[in-house]
Amino acid sequence: DSGVTQTPKHLITATGQRVTLRCSPRSGDLSVYWYQQSLDQGLQFLIQYYNGEERAKGNILERFSAQQFPDLHSELNLSSLELGDSALYFCASNLAGTNTGELFFGEGSRLTVL
Amino acid sequence: AQSVTQLDSQVPVFEEAPVELRCNYSSSVSVYLFWYVQYPNQGLQLLLKYLSGSTLVKGINGFEAEFNKSQTSFHLRKPSVHISDTAEYFCAVSVRAEYGNKLVFGAGTILRVKS
C-alpha cells in the first residue's frame, strides 16, 4: 500500500460527458502528479501541483483541468469526453523539493468512454 | 533533455530462466535511477532505486540492477523468474526541474513469463 488513494477505481461514461477523479496523497506529501496510461500512448505525465499551486504541465489537453485543495487532495476534471480519453489515470505524490523525485503511485482510476 | 530508452517492448521468458530488461538514459549530470513494476490491473510500485554508492542495487522480489555510468545504462536482472513476475516494468531517471526533481519514464517493457 503506497498510501495514495484514488477514487473511483472504475468509471464508465458516455462521450461528451464530464467526470472528476479524486486523489488523496500520502500523509505529509505536498506534491501531486497526474498521469494518463493508455495502450497507444504509454505513461504520459499530465500535470503537477505543489501545495495548492500548479508547478508543471505535461501533455494535458485543454478539456482537462486539475486542482489541489488546501487539505492537499487533488481532483482531475475531464470534460467533453471522447472515446480516446479511455485510459487508466494515475495519481502519484511525493514530498517534493526533495530529493530524488521518487514517486508513490495510487492504484489508478480506469475510465471507459462509450 | 534527459530521456530514458527501454530497448525491448516485450520480453518473453520461460519460468526459472534468467532475465535482463535493458534501460539506457541520457544525462550529462549525476542521476538518480529507478525501476518501477506494474502488475496487471494495479498501480506502479517501486522495485529498486540507485541514488549513490554501490553500483549494484538490490530490490524487492529478487530483482537487482547495475548502474553503469560509462555506458549510461541501468539494466534490470533476475537470475530465475517466476510466473508471478509477469508485469510491465518501467525505468525512470530523475531530472532537475524548476520545483525539485521529477521523474522521466521509459516506454515500459512487458515481461511475459511462460510455464
Chain A and chain B share a number of CB contacts under 8 A equal to 65
Q: Do B100 and A99 make contact, defined as CB atoms within 8 angstroms?
A: yes
Q: Cβ(B103)–Cβ(A31) under 8 Å?
A: no
* pLDDT tens-digit map of A20-51: 999 999 999 999 999 999 988 888 999 999 99
What pLDDT score was predicted for residue A97? Answer: 57
What pLDDT score was predicted for residue B31? Answer: 80
Q: Do A97 and B100 make contact, defined as CB atoms within 8 angstroms?
A: yes
What pLDDT score was predicted for residue B28? Answer: 64
What pLDDT score was predicted for residue A98? Answer: 59
Q: Which residue has the cell 523539493?
A: A97
Say yes or no to pLDDT of A91 above 90.
yes
Chain A residues whose beta carbon lies within 8 Å of the beta carbon of residue B105:
42-43, 45
10-residue stretch averages of pLDDT, chain B, 115 residues long: 88 97 84 93 92 92 94 96 97 80 89 96
